[in-house]
Amino acid sequence: MQFSTFELEQVVDDMETKHGVSLSTGARQSLIIPVLEAQSFGSTVSNHDVERSIGRIIEAASQHEDPLSGNRQQITAVAVARAIHLKFCNIPPFCSPVRQTKRTP
């Protein structure tokens, strides 16, 4: 599915409401831009993956105090980056699962 910016904004709005938070402009862009870029390079992203992943990131961000706003209800781009790190890295289309590799001594 190809998402427009408006459609992605709607997904983010819905997830804000669902999780009872408010995202800064930077936080919103941090969630939307990777999807738009993936599409522009020909990647197919599903509605299910996008909604689930944005929801998971917002949920993870709201579980910790935002380092800039100082609370859990106002989420900034820094908190989004931290949430992506915490959920690293099975959050399509933001990143693919990490493959386990054997290390040699």
The CATH architecture annotation of domain 5-86 reads Orthogonal Bundle (1.10)
Q: pTM for the full model?
A: 0.78
Per-residue pLDDT reduced to its tens digit, 70-87: 999 999 999 999 888 777
Q: 7, exposed or middle or buried, with CB in 10 Å at 0-12, 13-18, 19+?
A: middle
- pLDDT tens readout for residues 34-47: 999 999 999 888 88
Mean pLDDT of the chain: 85
